[in-house]
Amino acid sequence: MTAQKQPSSTADTTPETMPESKVLIYDTQPQRAAELAIVLRFIEHQPVVVKAATELKQRMTEGPFTAVVIGDDGSTENQDAMLAEVRKHDKDVPVFYAIERERETEAHTGELRDILGYIEIPYHYGNLSSALDKAALYWRSRGNESGGRRSLELFRSLVGTSRRVSAVRHMIEQVAPTEATVLILGESGTGKEVVARNIHYQSSRRDAPFVPINCGAIPQELLESELFGHEKGAFTGAISARQGRFEMAEGGTLFLDEIGDMPLPMQVKLLRVLQEKTFERVGSNKSITTNVRIIAATHRDLEKHIEDGRFREDLFYRLNVFPIEMPPLRERIEDIPMLINELIARIEHEKRGSVRLTPAAVMALCQYRWPGNVRELANLMERLAILYPFGVVDVKDLPDKFRGDLTSTTPAYTEMPEIVMPAISPAPDARLPREGINLKEHLSNMEVSLIRQALDEADGVVAHAAKLLNMRRTTLVEKLRKYGIQNASGN
């Protein structure tokens, strides 16, 4: 794609005018900035390098930019200062902090609210491509969102670059500006409330309340009062009048979670409110007009409930105007490495510790079926951070049910480095260039790059590099000969 000519201001940039190939790099280390620029050009992004803070103001006018990468100079305070300078010129551009591996734990305890994420140094093709794909998706999600900070927080909450999650994001973008009732379907723990909140904050109701209520967690005799409110003396214990969730959500969005567990008598009353846009508090005969958008969610099969007489068919069709189905985690396993990184970043941001996983451990988690979905994965990450504070978790350290039949020394790992490596630097779905690609040559170049990185990391010791690549030493030696890679140490 061709970047646009210099606009007068970056602040008014819209997703439609945002080029997909321009990235600003601020780094006081010229060699490191040059290395990043080379990788960016390789993945078809145009780098704009800034080496001094005094240049930043002028170079920001050369935007709009897909993203800004702020280099690591050993101080999160300096990065925060440069972030503030970037925000003076463009309050919405996605910003990533680059961080040295040895300073990762320290850096991750910083503020996450105003940046989209971190990129580890030394740079890898996988995590750079993943970060920039995330930035591009962020721009597309920004079309109906006025608040930069709120948008960043929400965008990070719907993590993943798989086709299923990308499709959900697209559906959110389509339905959010409308007033259509949305029914979110999916297993427990898949993130249905995350979808509901994204719809609300990308809608024209974003400045009004978002009010959730779990219809299955409230006893039947109290649910009517919770939804519609009550007057003083309406029942025993009603010592004062109280607003219900419909009144609390006035002008905004009411999220009816687990609607499939709502008792039949309440379904009738809810249907009437949806049809007539009015309701009465318990103990009152005064009608109150309501202006709320309804988003409902359930893990139940509502059509089966209708057959069994447990859910009203007319209410189902009232709710099922625009259905969105959240995929279970087992159907988007390519998102698991990104989810792990995000969940760990949140733990670190909340100063609840940290943990790292080996590629073998990530691969084992990708083999698990995840009946509890993302919620189960989040619970596991928190558990590992408690058990192994600031440690590295291998397959053998995982709870038994997550290990499967895989260990870090089984053939599944030693013979398949191509599969293990993306777990370190997960990349999104690849985009095939229009002119096509020499796949064999492309994969060979990637393999050479990863081998060189492993050798650098291992100070040239082949045995250690082979361990990083999860392959046998003899296999790595053969590849060194095949590609003519000289090993300085000779080990």
- Domains belonging to the chain, first-starting first, are 1-158 (3.40.50.2300), 163-326 (3.40.50.300)
CA–CA separation, 92 and 149 (whole Å): 8
Model-wide pTM > 0.75: no
Strands (E), 215-284: 253-257, 278-280
For the segment 46-69, the average pLDDT, to the nearest whole number, is 85
Name the pLDDT band for 405 (thresholds 50, 70, 90).
low
DSSP 50: E
Closest by CA position to 406, among listed 417, 392, 418, 394: 394
CA–CA separation, 392 and 396 (whole Å): 11
pLDDT tens-digit series, residues 187-241 = 999 999 999 999 998 899 988 999 999 998 888 878 999 999 888 877 777 778 8
What pLDDT shows up at residue 126?
67
CB atoms within 10 A of CB 423: 22
CA–CA separation, 158 and 145 (whole Å): 15
What pLDDT shows up at residue 486?
66
pLDDT tens-digit series, residues 409-436 = 443 333 333 322 333 333 334 445 555 6
Q: Which residues of 278-315 are buried (b: 16+ CB within 10 A; e: fewer)?
A: ebebbebeeebebebbbbbbbbeebeebbeeebbbeeb
Beta bridge partners of 20: none
Q: Which residues of 259-271 are buried (b: 16+ CB within 10 A; e: fewer)?
A: bbbbeeebbebbb
Q: Which residue matches tokens 């650098």? A: 456
Cβ–Cβ under 8 Å, residues 120 and 127 = yes
The helix (H) or strand (E) run that includes residue 251 is none
For the segment 87-114, the average pLDDT, to the nearest whole number, is 67
CA–CA separation, 382 and 364 (whole Å): 17
Q: For the chain, give me the number of helices (H) and strands (E)?
A: 22, 14
The helix (H) or strand (E) run that includes residue 479 is helix 473-483
To 10 degrees, the CA torsion angle through 425, 430, 431, 432?
120
For the segment 320-337, the average pLDDT, to the nearest whole number, is 93
What pLDDT shows up at residue 397?
92
When the pLDDT of each residue in the chain is averaged and rounded to a whole number, the result is 79
Out of 88-92, 281-285, 292-296, 429-433, the most confident range is: 292-296
**Does residue 22 or residue 368 have the better pLDDT?**
368
Is the preceding peptide bond at 64 cis, omega within 30 degrees of 0?
A: yes
SS3 state of residue 60: helix
Closest by CA position to 96, among listed 126, 75, 62, 120: 120
What pLDDT shows up at residue 97?
87
Out of 327-341, 418-432, 471-485, the most confident range is: 327-341
Stretch among 50-59, 357-366, 477-486 having the lowest mean pLDDT: 477-486
φ, ψ at 285 (rounded to 5°)? -115, 15
DSSP 201: H
> Strand order of the sheet with strand 210-214?
210-214, 253-257, 293-298, 182-185, 322-325
Q: Is the pLDDT score of 360 beyond 80? A: yes
Cβ–Cβ under 8 Å, residues 280 and 228 = yes
- Token pair belonging to 428: 């999104």
